[in-house]
Structure 1
Amino acid sequence: MNPSLSQPDPSSRTQHRARTSWSGTGAVAEPDLERAAAGARILLEALGVDLDDESLARTPERMAGSLAELMSPRPFHLTTFPNDGGYDEMVVARSIPLRSLCEHHMLPFVGTAHIGYLPGARILGLSKLARVLEHFASRPQVQERLTVQVADWLAAQLSPVGVGVVIEAEHLCMTLRGVQAPGTTTITSSLRGVLREDSRSRAEFLALTRSPC
Structure 2
Amino acid sequence: MRHRLAVAGVAAVVTACGLAGCSGDGDQKEAGPKQTVLQPGRPGEPNKTALLGPSPAKPPTDAEVRFFQMMIPHHRQAVEMSVLAPGQAADPKVKALAERIDKAQQVEISAMQSWLKQKGKPTSAGTGGHGGHGAHGGKADAHANMPGMATPAQMAQLREARGAAFDKLFLDLMIVHHQGALTMVKDVFDKGTDVTVQQMARDVMSGQNAEIARMRDLQKA
With normalisation by structure 1, the TM-score equals 0.29
Q: Pick the structure with more helix per residue.
A: 2
With normalisation by structure 2, the TM-score equals 0.28
